[in-house]
Amino acid sequence: MLRRIIAAVIDFFLSVIPLFIISNIIINNVTNKSVNPQATPYIAFQLILSPIENIQKVIENPYTFSLNIEELLISVLLVFLSEVILYSLFDLSPMKKTIGKAMMNLKYEHKLTVWDAMLRNAIKVLTRYLFGIPLIFVLFSKKRYLLQDILTDNTVIASEQ
């Protein structure tokens, strides 16, 4: 389990730069340039790191990011989808795993379908968005499966190397 956590941390840090670029593009397009260009990088990082907290901030104070709630929700959704697609592209690539999994010598037990990759990665990203709450499944699973393992009937195992 520790290797899976380390792999997820590696993947997240490697994905921050492309997600940051994508987030900036999304914010500039969704808001029709109504946001101060100097604030866009800050907002982009906030969308990547803690989107739920930032939605709450905008609900409490609509002028937090110079975004209305609709613009923020659309931006969060597009950043979420971008992150899911990014991780899924790695899982469906010829390597069949993310860089973090490769570095930690991990692989999927069974071949992933496109649907499985998208579902697994959506749950993984949502787990971070929800402050790790779905990780509770590990405590109640005999085999220490995560929610995405249970729903896709596929888990991450050590590679034979």
| Single pTM value for the model | 0.81
pLDDT for res 51: 85
Integer distance in angstroms from the first to the last C-alpha of the chain?
A: 18
Share of the chain above pLDDT 90, in %: 22
Please write the tens of the pLDDT for every residue from 3-34. 888 988 899 889 888 988 888 888 888 877 66
Please write the tens of the pLDDT for every residue from 74-118. 888 999 999 999 999 999 999 999 999 999 999 888 899 999 999
Residue (of 135, 153, 99, 125) closest to 1 by Cα position: 135
Which residues are registered as beta bridge partners of 106?
Answer: 158
In whole angstroms, how far apart are CA 123 and each of 39, 55, 56, 126, 129? 29, 19, 21, 5, 10
In 10 A of CB 97, how many CB atoms?
A: 21
